[in-house]
């Protein structure tokens, strides 16, 4: 949900497959110079997407929602619209960049 607009999608894949396709997209489209390498650190509630020892975003395991980081250990949950995309909706992260600018609401 971005800006309180629910995307039209159906959850057709499981979480691990969707997360793998998200990481593959990030490594393919945001790694033109070979500098950025996106990996996943598993957590209890959120998976942390890390690039070169810095947090890029958090993915909630239950819903697949993408959140920008508030710190190394937690996502930003206290804003009006904390959800920035979904790993199940490719259009929500199609314009992703390696610096995380796509995670900020307009």
- Residues 48-92: pLDDT tens digits? 999 888 899 999 999 999 999 999 999 999 988 888 889 998 888
Banded pLDDT at 103 (limits 50, 70, 90)? confident
Q: Please measure the distance between the N-terminal and C-terminal CA atoms of the chain and give it in whole angstroms.
A: 14
pTM, to two decimals: 0.82
* pLDDT tops 70 at residue 1: no
Work out the average pLDDT over 19-26.
Answer: 90
Buried b (16+ CB within 10 A) or exposed e, 26-50: beeebeeeeebebeeeeeeebbbbb
Alpha-carbon Rg for the chain in angstroms: 13
């Amino acid at each position: 949900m971005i800006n309180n607009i629910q995307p039209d999608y159906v959850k057709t894949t499981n979480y691990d497959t969707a997360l793998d396709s998200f990481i593959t997209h990030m490594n393919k489209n945001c790694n033109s110079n070979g500098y950025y390498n996106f990996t996943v650190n598993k957590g209890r509630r959120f998976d942390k997407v890390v690039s070169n020892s810095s947090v890029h975003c958090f993915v909630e395991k239950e819903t697949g929602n993408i959140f920008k980081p508030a710190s190394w250990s937690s996502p930003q949950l206290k804003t009006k619209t904390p959800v920035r995309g979904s790993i199940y909706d490719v259009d929500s992260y199609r314009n992703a960049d390696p610096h995380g600018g796509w995670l900020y609401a307009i």
